[in-house]
């Protein structure tokens, strides 16, 4: 029977798997609603393990917004680890939700949020375990609609064969609008089946339906055109942009995990979007324009969230939290409010300036001054101009000196390797910076036991950014440069023991690059990798470059393209990119001119404080930058009670 709990069949398997608690649900603030009265039922998936997926804000927000609707039911599902996958297959138990352990195949919609492309094989595992055909074309009216969202959905082409639809941009209002369409469609008896439902969703401009578009290729292997194959849907699906974030203060009741997760704190998003213009940053580009939450909404969200969850740590989230127009006032008022309590505050700190240290000092009033993170991203001033990260060496040294002088002992510096135009000299600039940082730290603090951690990630060009045309550095180049840098730091007796060095090899970045800028032909590579055992590709212990490389050779080369063709090849201005028909609001001509500016090492200011330079987002999306100062204040503090009981409504199915 539809909607029944699978727990009686799952429970006997759990003692045989690692971390069984990740599959039992029952977290603080989780919700189980009765199946029958619900008009629309969503299964929300984060395609990674529970410990990574549970804290995901996007899923938590949608879960709460949907469950607030009296006739809507939303439950969560995560990627099952290979040990449980084998047992589920052996005992014919399908993919299940963790809330009421219902079969994912019973729901109306499976919504999957992709933060990274390396979760694609986990989608296929979940579909297969759920009994949902991998290919959207093979699904019938009995199967849920499979809808992708999240940042990776801005180029869903590599997984388009597996998706019924994708939602671009902010999901809050879009999820409610999709629900309305599905509710009305079901109430009318589902006339015309799933194709008609998808047509209605596309016509309402809620989703992009890949099956409604045809892709043709030229003799050179590049796309010659992407065209809608019907004239009753928009030719250019567009992203959703939420105005007035104060009207959407979610999550109000953050989930409190029972098992260990990567973040154990509540997070409050203090603004969305970024106009700093870092050219490598897809998140900054696709979430424009900047929309701030006001101080009183942030204060109320923290108060409500702490009361509902019992968490003792609050993280203030955004792409660049120190850029909130009232961050100084916010930091001071929050520090005053929570001084002397058990509540600690944190700000993911990336901007390199002394003001950031002042903020960190405020936030550490209740705790230790352990580590501060700054992200210069590029090792040389020249490269930082290319990527539009306007940080001078003097800024960095002044900032870290301030930090060390004020009692911070650990500074972490984040860089990227493989950026466009990068040379060995740029990478060696990282060693020079680390040396100057250690010297400045020793001088400012009067101690020799100063530590600096240099953390390096491989750059992956992404869609809808000025670097979408760039050739990605090969993994051999990345590895050779990282080795050069490591050897240089180790050979420097002045700093060798003070500098910690963290990096990953270049191979996973090449596969991420294939998936990030791939087209529909890459879908067959994903499916082949999955059939050959590919799972959890974001985890180094599961990732196999050789498996991806072999699958790419087998599937792409007969079509006249290759792994290199999709990754290390620079694109021309005229080439049709796989995502050109998807509207992120950014003007393609502006992106190209910004790419040319990058090659000229020319920088661009933040349009929050300087005149608009016409990136296209505000007029195209009918949106605008929303920033303070509002002069509003935090609400008064209320006491933090213990963790609440789990909510279970009458008539709910068995959950555990």
> From the CB of residue 114, how many other CB atoms can be counted at a distance below 10 Å?
26
Cβ proximity of 123 and 115 under 8 Å: no
Q: Cα separation of 46 and 432, whole Å?
A: 40
Among 625, 637, 648, 652, which residue interacts with ligand SF4 (rule: CB under 6 A)? 625
* Closer by beta carbon to ligand SF4, 355 or else 609: 609
> Across-strand partners of 454?
413, 501
- In DSSP notation, 152-178 reads GGGS-GGGGGG-SEE--B--HHHHHHH
613: contact with ligand SF4 by CB under 6 A: yes
> From the CB of residue 559, how many other CB atoms can be counted at a distance below 10 Å?
12
Give the shortest CB-590-to-ligand SF4 separation in angstroms. 8
Which window, 180-188, 348-356, 402-410, 616-624, contacts ligand SF4 (CB under 6 A)? 616-624
* Closer by beta carbon to ligand SF4, 542 or else 608: 608
Q: Cα separation of 656 and 654, whole Å?
A: 6
Give the shortest CB-610-to-ligand SF4 separation in angstroms. 9
* Closer by beta carbon to ligand SF4, 76 or else 276: 276
What is the b/e burial string over 579-596, where b = at least 16 CB atoms within 10 angstroms of the residue's CB? Answer: bbbbbbbbbeeebeebbe
* Closer by beta carbon to ligand SF4, 617 or else 655: 617
Among 97, 122, 275, 478, which residue interacts with ligand SF4 (rule: CB under 6 A)? 275
Among 197, 615, 634, 655, which residue interacts with ligand SF4 (rule: CB under 6 A)? 615
* Closer by beta carbon to ligand SF4, 393 or else 587: 587
> From the CB of residue 629, how many other CB atoms can be counted at a distance below 10 Å?
11
Among 405, 618, 637, 652, which residue interacts with ligand SF4 (rule: CB under 6 A)? 618
Please give the size of the binding site for ligand SF4, defined by CB under 6 A: 12
* Closer by beta carbon to ligand SF4, 354 or else 618: 618
194: contact with ligand SF4 by CB under 6 A: no
Which window, 53-61, 116-124, 395-403, 611-619, contacts ligand SF4 (CB under 6 A)? 611-619
Q: How many CA atoms lie within 13 A of 655 on its CB side?
A: 24
Compose the 568-607 pattern: x for residues touching ligand SF4 by CB under 6 A, - for all others: ---------------------------------------x
* Closer by beta carbon to ligand SF4, 274 or else 433: 274
Q: Cα separation of 113 and 115, whole Å?
A: 7
Q: Cα separation of 224 and 643, whole Å?
A: 57
Which window, 101-109, 489-497, 552-560, 613-621, contacts ligand SF4 (CB under 6 A)? 613-621
Give the shortest CB-620-to-ligand SF4 separation in angstroms. 8
Q: Cα separation of 401 and 449, whole Å?
A: 14
Q: Cα separation of 345 and 296, whole Å?
A: 17
Task: Work out the burial of residue 117: count CB atoms within 10 Å of its CB; fewer than 13 is exposed, 13-18 middle, 19 or more buried.
Answer: buried
Beta-strand (E) ranges in 392-432? 410-417
3-state secondary structure of 567: helix
Q: Cα separation of 459 and 161, whole Å?
A: 27
* Closer by beta carbon to ligand SF4, 355 or else 613: 613
Give the shortest CB-186-to-ligand SF4 separation in angstroms. 39
Q: Cα separation of 422 and 341, whole Å?
A: 48
Q: What is the DSSP letter of 137?
A: G
Give the shortest CB-611-to-ligand SF4 separation in angstroms. 8
Cβ proximity of 440 and 447 under 8 Å: no
Q: Which residues, 276 to 305, sit near ligand SF4 by CB under 6 A?
A: 288-289
Give the shortest CB-593-to-ligand SF4 separation in angstroms. 12
Q: Cα separation of 98 and 7, whole Å?
A: 9
Give the shortest CB-614-to-ligand SF4 separation in angstroms. 6
* Closer by beta carbon to ligand SF4, 317 or else 625: 625
* Closer by beta carbon to ligand SF4, 101 or else 239: 239
* Closer by beta carbon to ligand SF4, 339 or else 614: 614
Q: Cα separation of 487 and 191, whole Å?
A: 67
238: contact with ligand SF4 by CB under 6 A: no
* Closer by beta carbon to ligand SF4, 151 or else 535: 151
Backbone φ/ψ region at 340: left (φ over 0), alpha (ψ -120 to 50), beta: left
Give the shortest CB-612-to-ligand SF4 separation in angstroms. 3
Q: What is the DSSP letter of 5?
A: B
Among 188, 235, 612, 643, which residue interacts with ligand SF4 (rule: CB under 6 A)? 612
Positions that interact with ligand SF4 (CB under 6 A): 275, 288-289, 607, 612-618, 625
């Amino acid at each position: 029977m539809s909607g029944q709990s699978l727990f009686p069949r799952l429970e006997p398997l759990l003692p045989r798997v690692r971390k069984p608690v990740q599959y039992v649900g029952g977290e603080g603030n989780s919700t189980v609603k009765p199946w029958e009265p619900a008009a629309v039922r969503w299964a929300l998936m984060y395609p990674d393990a529970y410990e990574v997926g549970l804290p995901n804000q996007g899923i938590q927000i949608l879960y709460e917004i949907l469950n607030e609707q009296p006739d809507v039911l939303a439950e969560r599902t995560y990627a099952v680890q290979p040990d449980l996958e084998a047992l589920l297959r052996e005992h014919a138990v399908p993919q299940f939700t963790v809330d009421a352990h219902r079969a994912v195949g019973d729901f109306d919609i499976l919504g999957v949020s992709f933060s990274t492309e390396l979760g694609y094989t986990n989608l296929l595992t979940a579909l297969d375990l759920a009994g949902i055909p991998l290919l959207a074309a093979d699904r019938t009216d009995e199967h849920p609609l499979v809808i992708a969202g999240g940042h990776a959905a801005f180029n869903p082409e590599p997984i388009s064969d597996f998706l019924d639809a994708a939602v671009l941009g902010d999901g809050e209002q879009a999820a409610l609008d999709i629900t309305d369409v599905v509710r009305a469609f079901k109430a009318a008896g589902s006339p015309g089946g799933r194709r008609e439902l998808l047509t209605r969703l596309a016509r309402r401009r809620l989703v992009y339906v890949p099956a409604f578009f045809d892709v043709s290729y030229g003799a050179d292997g590049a796309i010659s055109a992407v065209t809608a194959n019907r004239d009753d849907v928009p030719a250019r699906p567009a992203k959703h942009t939420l105005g007035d974030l104060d009207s959407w203060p979610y999550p109000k009741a953050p989930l409190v995990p029972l098992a260990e997760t990567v973040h154990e704190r509540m997070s409050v998003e203090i603004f969305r979007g970024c106009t700093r213009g870092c050219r490598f940053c897809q998140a900054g580009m696709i979430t424009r324009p900047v929309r701030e939450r006001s101080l009183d909404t942030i204060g109320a969200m923290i108060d409500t969230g702490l009361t509902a969850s019992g968490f003792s740590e609050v993280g203030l989230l955004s792409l660049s939290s120190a850029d909130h127009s009232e961050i100084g006032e916010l930091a001071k008022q929050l520090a005053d409010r929570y001084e002397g309590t058990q509540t600690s505050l944190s700000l993911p700190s990336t901007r390199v300036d002394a003001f950031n240290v002042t903020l960190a000092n405020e936030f550490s009033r209740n705790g230790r001054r352990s580590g501060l993170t700054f992200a210069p991203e590029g090792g040389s001033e020249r490269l930082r101009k290319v990527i539009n990260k306007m940080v001078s060496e003097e800024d960095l040294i002044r900032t870290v000196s301030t930090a060390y002088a004020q009692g911070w002992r650990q500074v972490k510096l984040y860089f990227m390797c493989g950026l466009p135009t990068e040379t060995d000299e740029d990478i060696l600039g990282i060693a020079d910076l680390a040396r100057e940082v250690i010297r400045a730290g020793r001088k400012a603090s009067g101690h020799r036991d100063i530590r600096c951690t240099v953390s390096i990630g491989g750059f992956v060009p992404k869609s809808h950014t000025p670097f979408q045309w760039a050739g990605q550095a090969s993994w051999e180049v990345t590895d050779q440069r990282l080795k050069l840098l490591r050897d240089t730091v180790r050979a420097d007796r002045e700093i060798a023991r003070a500098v910690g060095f963290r990096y990953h090899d270049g191979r996973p970045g090449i596969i991420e690059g294939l998936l990030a800028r791939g087209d529909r032909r890459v879908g067959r590579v994903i499916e082949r990798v999955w059939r050959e055992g590919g799972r959890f590709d974001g985890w180094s212990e599961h990732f196999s470059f050789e498996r991806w490389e072999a699958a790419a050779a087998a599937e792409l080369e007969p079509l006249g393209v290759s792994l290199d063709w999709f990754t290390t090849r620079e694109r021309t201005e005229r080439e049709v990119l796989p995502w050109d028909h998807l509207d992120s609001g950014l003007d393609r001509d502006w992106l190209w001119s910004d790419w040319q500016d990058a090659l000229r090492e020319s920088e661009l200011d933040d349009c929050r404080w300087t005149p608009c330079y016409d990136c296209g987002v505000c007029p195209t999306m009918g949106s605008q930058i929303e920033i303070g100062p509002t002069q509003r204040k935090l609400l008064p503090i209320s006491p933090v009670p213990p963790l609440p009981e789990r909510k279970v409504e009458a008539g709910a199915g068995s959950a555990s």
